[in-house]
Amino acid sequence: MAVKKETEREVTFEIVERIGVVSVSPKGWKKELNIVRWNDKPPKYDLREWDEEHEKMGKGITFTEEEMKILKELVSGLEL
């Protein structure tokens, strides 16, 4: 049985706008909401952890502008 191994491709990014820091871990990584362009595609809202130099990142989630509008409505309805 043959095993197919996927090769990692280079991921490029540009932080277009830094919106804000949500939290800071004890190791100094910051969970941030930013607008990021990934692999030369249109920019998206992006929520993930970054190291101090913004060279390494954790797993995150991206939102289109329309998804962000829906998320904003959902969150504004929460009783916190």
Which amino acid does the sequence have at 15?
A: I
Does 11 have pLDDT greater than 90? no
Strand 44-50: give its sheet, edge to edge. 13-24, 30-38, 44-50, 57-63
Look at residue 10 in the predicted model and tell me its pLDDT.
Answer: 86
Does 52 have pLDDT greater than 60? yes
Look at residue 7 in the predicted model and tell me its pLDDT.
Answer: 63
CATH 2.30.31.70 fits 13-76, yes or no: yes
pLDDT digits (tens, 9 = 90+) for 18-46: 999 999 999 999 999 999 999 999 999 99
Segment 10-23 mean pLDDT:
95
